Amino acid sequence: MAVLTVRRIRRLGLLDFSVFDEVGTDPRATVPSLMIASGSMMMLSVGGWLWWITSGLGDSSAVLLKSVVIGSLFSIALWLAWLVVVYVILQRVTQSDVNVERLVRAAGMATTPLIIGLLMVIPSISFGIGIVAIGTWVITTHAAIERATGISGRPVVIANGAGFAVWALAMSVLATSTNQIAPGPFLAESIWEAVTTYDYAQIVINS
């Protein structure tokens, strides 16, 4: 099964979206797909952490625990919430019978592009790489939903967009100046909050 999973990942890298059809109908792919989802999200988190330490921002051990360990767990939980949103919206909008197991298997495989997040270690383009990884993930998830449910068009756009919004907004809330519990490019938001909070405090003091 491990060899088959690697082959499927390779095919997905070549934009062969028929992989989602295979995974969706293969009960043996449930655990591998969940493992891929967990590993891919951790890779995005590791990429953000590597950016953090190579940027000389300090406190690398604390960020490792918060972003890579805790942040990855939150990311996985919120990804499942994303799929719940997709399921509920598609059920209500299309009145179709959505197979949850197929959806989870296909969507798990669709997280593979997050591995690109490891390249956030590259200076100057770190943030852009993180955005590309997440953006590609959204696109492959859209394809996975279509293949797993047999639904296409506007309902999938709405459902996938709403699910992603839940994930992204929650990640944004988790990234604060004191608790960097968010993966990849969301770590930059913690820096932004620290800077803006400091600037606001200086304005208050000076006034």
pLDDT digits (tens, 9 = 90+) for 14-54: 989 999 999 999 999 999 999 999 999 999 999 988 888 88
pLDDT in tens, 99-123: 999 999 999 999 999 999 999 988 8
Provide the percentage of residues in the chain whose pLDDT is more than 90.
60
* Three-class secondary structure assignment of the chain: CHHHHHHHHHHHHCCCCHHHHHHHCCHHHHHHHHHHHHHHHHHHHHHHHHHHHHCCCCCHHHHHHHHHHHHHHHHHHHHHHHHHHHHHHHHHHHCCCCCHHHHHHHHHHCCHHHHHHHHHHCCCCHHHHHHHHHHHHHHHHHHHHHHHHCCCCHHHHHHHHHHHHHHHHHHHHHECCCCECCCHHHHHHHHHHHHHHHHHHHHHHHC
pTM, entire model: 0.86
∠ CA 194-137-141 to the nearest 5 degrees? 130
pLDDT at 200 over 90: no
Q: Please give the Cα distance from 94 to 156 (Å, whole number).
A: 10
- Beta carbons within 10 angstroms of residue 203's beta carbon: 9
Q: How does pLDDT run across 2-24, given as a tens digit for each residue? A: 888 899 999 999 989 999 999 99
